[in-house]
Amino acid sequence: MAQPAEKYDVFQAIADSTRRDILQLLTKGDQPIAAISAQFPMSRTAVVKHLTVLEQACLVATEKKGREKIYTLHVEGLKEVEDWLQYFELFWDNKLSQLQRLVEEP
């Protein structure tokens, strides 16, 4: 029996610096695989593997145009990360306020 493909979550997807670089690259606009892979010192196959992880995490989408696959950034997929980080902002704000009070004390 065939095993289902592993589904990646957003945190696994952004854990790798190459995938974060790909996401940043896609902020400039939709791009074909050839343009994306040209930006990295690795094989096109390795870049496709990274893009597959990003696609499974719903951070990028693909559209077939002729013989090319065009990749599009889906920033909505990062909402989960934003929500998680917002919880910790309370702690950061508190620490910054404490530091400000210490610095401004006579």
Map out the domains of the chain with their CATH numbers: 10-75 (1.10.10.10)
Q: What is the largest CA-CA distance in the chain?
A: 72
Report the run of H or E that residue 2 belongs to, with start and end: none
Q: What is the pLDDT along the chain (106 residues), one digit of tens a residue?
A: 444 456 888 999 999 999 999 999 999 999 999 999 999 999 999 999 999 999 999 999 999 999 999 999 999 999 999 988 888 777 776 766 776 777 777 6
Tell me the pTM.
0.79
